[in-house]
């Protein structure tokens, strides 16, 4: 069986035809993909920038004079206008009211998450420590917050995901949210969209958690590139973002979008240049600035930040809802076609981790290949072969060990044996880890689609995949 024609695809997913403007955009703003015969399938790793974004940013820098904004001279004031413009544009894009939310610029989503983790009052003076609740399905930058929580005496509670879809059962979330401690501050963290399985977890959990007294940290890094996040309707206390995942450029800039009230309760463990109103050596005192300034260490990327507004304008012009429909159609087709591929023995070519349809799932597909006898093909072999074909995809566990362990069938007992081995007392390498769980995959292949993806990209991957069928 072949991989199907464009006509078959449109018949199955007619909504794709309504996104034809993105084909024109690709030929104009992303022409380098086809010019270099590149098949880019790693949008969850990083978005791609349009050439118009780079041109607009270069023009702005070429025509202006911008200095460090921590001053009042003309070049500093010019830079301040651009920085504050990027801040205001971010609030506008996510429909966040300026009197309710504030934007803190960070180096990436991980930096935003660390800000919350290091400053959250898990164990405020005079209070019993609270709880950190999170799902198995979380990026390591969220998992890492547990170390801050434990250091302050807080409980850390994980809610598992379940096969086959790698979703969290609603009753498990309800139960966990209902067990918030009576005293202390407690934080619930989860991804709006999994960076492993692409499951979209319900945004309704935010209101449910808030109603039970939890603060909510929403990781929107994988969600925002192809979905509209409306902070006027869904109101988490903290949202972590990486702009390069949304529109490719600039890299090294993310944001923590925080409710002003929640931000006022955070307690930073240190101060730095730019974060204080007054600091004294002889007086041994300091006074932290209010709002975003108290959390932006040193000098922000004042030359890069104007590109944030340009990128948001670009995504707005393209239409994130249009990108969503396009990606949904392409993922649906990819799942249908690759799940139908079977060896001559009747065994399937791949195992997909996560939903097998497009309901409440995003634009990434995690899977592993197997040979005609059902034995797994090392994901590193798949990546190497893809590289030879000019296909950019990603392999590994994608910094999401919780979802990966469940998907790959790695048990708690296996992990305990591995981590308590005397040989691994001080250090555990990835090769050591592979030896611990001998015979099981330690990662997967992830194909992810985004703003410039088209039908030919998916067909190229399907053709590549067919090359692993026997006969």
Could you tell me the domains of the chain?
Answer: 6-48+319-466 (3.90.1150.10), 57-316 (3.40.640.10)
Q: Distance between CA 213 and CA 422 in Å, rounded?
A: 43
Query: Does residue 131 contact residue 155 with C-beta atoms inside 8 Å?
Result: yes
Angle ∠(125,131,132) on CA atoms, nearest 5? 120
Q: Residue 349 has what pLDDT?
A: 98
Look-up: residue for tokens 């991980």?
A: 110
What single string gives the DSSP state of each residue in 396-434? E-TT-HHHHHHHTT--HHHHHHHHT-GGGSS---HHHHH
Give the DSSP letter of residue 193.
Answer: B
- In terms of Cβ atoms closer than 10 Å to its own Cβ (0-12, 13-18, 19+), residue 294 is buried
Q: Residue 438 has what pLDDT?
A: 65
Query: Does residue 350 contact residue 369 with C-beta atoms inside 8 Å?
Result: yes
Q: Residue 299 has what pLDDT?
A: 92
The arrangement of strands across the sheet holding 364-369 comes to 350-353, 364-369, 444-448, 394-396
Q: CA separation (Å) from 343 to 385, 445, 471?
A: 19, 19, 8
What single string gives the DSSP state of each residue in 339-371? HT-B-TTS-BSEEEES-SSSTTB-SEEEEEEB-
The candidate with the shortest Cα–Cα distance to 138, out of 181, 180, 178, 197, is 197
Q: Residue 425 has what pLDDT?
A: 58
Low-confidence stretches of the chain (pLDDT < 50) are 1
What residues contact 38, with CB distance under 8 A and at least 6 apart?
32, 390, 392
Whole-structure pTM value: 0.93
Q: Which residues are catalytic?
A: 399
Q: Residue 1 has what pLDDT?
A: 42
What residues contact 354, with CB distance under 8 A and at least 6 apart?
165, 166, 194, 196, 197, 198, 199, 361, 365, 366, 407
Query: Does residue 33 contact residue 456 with C-beta atoms inside 8 Å?
Result: no
pLDDT, tens digit, 9 for 90 and up, residues 161-176:
999 999 999 999 999 9
Q: Residue 437 has what pLDDT?
A: 66
Q: Residue 434 has what pLDDT?
A: 63
Q: Residue 127 has what pLDDT?
A: 73
Angle ∠(281,282,288) on CA atoms, nearest 5? 45
Q: Residue 300 has what pLDDT?
A: 94
What residues contact 232, with CB distance under 8 A and at least 6 apart?
95, 96, 97
Cα 128 off chain centre by: 32
What residues contact 434, with CB distance under 8 A and at least 6 apart?
442
């Amino acid at each position: 069986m072949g991989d199907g024609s464009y006509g078959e695809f449109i018949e199955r997913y007619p909504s794709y035809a309504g996104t034809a403007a993105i084909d024109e955009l690709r030929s104009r703003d992303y022409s380098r993909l086809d010019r270099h015969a590149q098949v880019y399938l790693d949008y969850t790793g990083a978005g791609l920038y349009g050439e118009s974004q780079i041109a607009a940013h270069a023009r702005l820098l070429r025509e202006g004079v911008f200095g460090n904004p921590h001053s009042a001279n003309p070049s500093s004031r010019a830079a301040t206008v651009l920085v504050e413009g990027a801040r205001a544009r971010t609030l506008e894009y996510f429909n966040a009211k300026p009197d309710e939310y504030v934007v803190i610029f960070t180096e990436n989503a991980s930096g935003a998450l660390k800000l919350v983790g290091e400053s959250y009052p898990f164990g405020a003076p005079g209070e019993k420590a609270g709880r950190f609740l999170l799902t198995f399905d979380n990026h390591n930058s969220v998992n890492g917050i547990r170390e801050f929580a434990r250091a302050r005496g807080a409980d850390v509670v994980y809610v598992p995901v379940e096969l086959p879809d790698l979703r969290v059962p609603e009753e498990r979330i309800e139960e966990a949210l209902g067990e918030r401690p009576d005293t202390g501050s407690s934080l619930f963290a989860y991804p709006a969209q999994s960076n492993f399985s692409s499951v979209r977890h319900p945004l309704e959990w935010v209101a449910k958690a808030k109603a039970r007294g939890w603060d909510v940290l929403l990781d929107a890094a994988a969600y925002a590139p192809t979905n509209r996040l409306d902070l006027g309707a869904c109101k988490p206390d903290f949202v972590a973002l990486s702009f390069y995942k949304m529109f490719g450029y600039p890299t090294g800039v993310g944001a923590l979008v925080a409710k002003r009230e929640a931000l006022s309760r955070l307690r930073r463990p240190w101060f730095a240049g730019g974060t204080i109103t007054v600091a004294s050596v002889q007086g041994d005192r300091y006074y932290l600035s209010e709002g975003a300034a108290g959390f932006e260490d040193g000098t922000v990327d004042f030359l890069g930040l104007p590109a944030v507004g340009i990128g948001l304008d670009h995504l707005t012009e393209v239409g994130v809802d249009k990108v969503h429909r396009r990606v949904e159609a392409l993922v649906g087709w990819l799942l249908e076609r690759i799940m139908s591929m079977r060896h001559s023995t009747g065994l399937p070519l791949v195992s997909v981790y996560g939903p097998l349809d497009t309901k409440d799932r995003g634009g990434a597909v995690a899977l592993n290949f197997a040979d005609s006898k059902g034995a797994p093909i090392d994901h590193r072999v798949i990546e190497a072969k893809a590289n030879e074909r000019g296909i950019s995809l990603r392999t590994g566990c994608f910094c999401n060990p919780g979802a990966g362990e469940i998907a790959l069938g790695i048990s708690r007992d296996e992990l305990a044996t591995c981590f308590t081995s005397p040989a691994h007392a001080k250090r555990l390498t990835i090769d050591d880890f592979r030896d611990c769980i001998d015979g099981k995959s330690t990662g997967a292949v992830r194909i992810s689609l985004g703003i410039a993806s088209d039908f030919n990209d998916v067909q190229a991957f399907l053709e590549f995949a067919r090359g692993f069928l026997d006969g």
